[in-house]
Amino acid sequence: MLRTQFEEELLNLHNQFYEMGMLVSNAIHKSVRAYVKHDKEIAREVIENDEAINNMEIRLEKKSFEMIALQQPVTTDLRMIITVMKASSDLERMGDHAVSIAKSTIRVKGETRIAEIEKEISDMSDYVKKMVDNVLVAYVKTDQDDARMIAQMDERVNEYYRDIYYQTIESMKANPETVVSGTDYLSVAQYLERIGDYVTNICEWIVYLATGKISELNTNRTEMI
C-alpha cells in the first residue's frame, strides 16, 4: 500500500526523533569518557556537536507545529506528534547536560583527583547511557511495559549519586586539595542523575503514546533528604 504524504511525514518525524536521541546518547557517553580520561579534545567535540542537537530540536518543533496546523491530525497521529514535541525538549536538555560535563573536563586544571570516585562516575554513566539507549528502543516500539521498567532503573541512578556524594564529601573533608575536583564530581554526578530524570520523562511520554494517558512513573525522583 502506498503511504500518503502525511504518513510519510509522520514516519520522518518519528525517525528524526530517534536520530536526535542517538546523537544525545553519544554526547553523554563521549562527555563522560572525556571527563574520566581528562581528554579535552573529545570534550570540545561534544560542545561543538551540541549545535546539531539544538538545531534538530528546532526542526522537530517546527515540523510538529506545521503538521498540527496544516493536517489537523487526530487520535493516534496527534498523540505521536505531541510526544515528539514534548519529549524532544527532554532530549535537548540531556544534550545540554552532556555539554556541562564536557565543560567540566575543560575546566579541570590538574587538581588532585580521586581515582575511585572517577571510576564510580564512569560506572554511573555507563548505566545512564544504557537507560538512554533502552528508552529510544522503547520509543521506537511504543512499548509501554519497557518504558515502565526503564523508569524503575532511575532508582539505581539515585543510589549511584548518593554513593558518590558521601565519598566526595569525606574526601573533601580529609584533604582540602580535593575540594575543586570534589565539587566537580558532585556536579557531574548531578548532571547524570538529572539525565536519568529526563529518561523517566520520556518513559512517561511513551506511556502516553501507547495509551493516551498522562501518568507519573516516578514521583519520588528527586534527590535524597
Residues that bind its own copies (CB under 8 A): 54, 58, 61-62, 65, 68-69, 72, 74-75, 78, 82, 85-86, 89, 96, 99-100, 103, 106-107, 168-169, 172-174, 176-177, 179-180, 182-183, 186-187, 190, 214, 216, 222-225
Please identify, using beta-carbon distances, which residue of 99 and 206 lies nearer to its own copies.
99
Residue 146 in contact with residue 136, Cβ under 8 Å?
A: no
Residue 21 in contact with residue 136, Cβ under 8 Å?
A: yes
Please identify, using beta-carbon distances, which residue of 48 and 126 lies nearer to its own copies.
48
CB of 2 to its own copies, least distance (A): 26
Please identify, using beta-carbon distances, which residue of 16 and 190 lies nearer to its own copies.
190
CB of 181 to its own copies, least distance (A): 11
CB of 86 to its own copies, least distance (A): 7
Residue 124 in contact with residue 192, Cβ under 8 Å?
A: yes
CB of 15 to its own copies, least distance (A): 21
The C-alpha cell that represents 78 in the structure block: 496527534
Write a three-state SS string for 38-101: CCHHHHHHHHHHHHHHHHHHHHHHHHHHHHHHHHCCCHHHHHHHHHHHHHHHHHHHHHHHHHHH
The C-alpha cell that represents 185 in the structure block: 564530581
Contacts of 110 (CB under 8 A, 6+ apart): none
If you search the block for the grid coordinates 523517566, which residue do you land on?
Answer: 200
Please identify, using beta-carbon distances, which residue of 71 and 130 lies nearer to its own copies.
71
Please identify, using beta-carbon distances, which residue of 100 and 133 lies nearer to its own copies.
100
If you search the block for the grid coordinates 580521586, which residue do you land on?
Answer: 114
3-state secondary structure at position 23: helix
CB of 131 to its own copies, least distance (A): 19
Q: What is the dihedral of CA 167, 168, 171, 175, to 10 degrees?
A: 180
CB of 174 to its own copies, least distance (A): 8
Please identify, using beta-carbon distances, which residue of 133 and 165 lies nearer to its own copies.
165
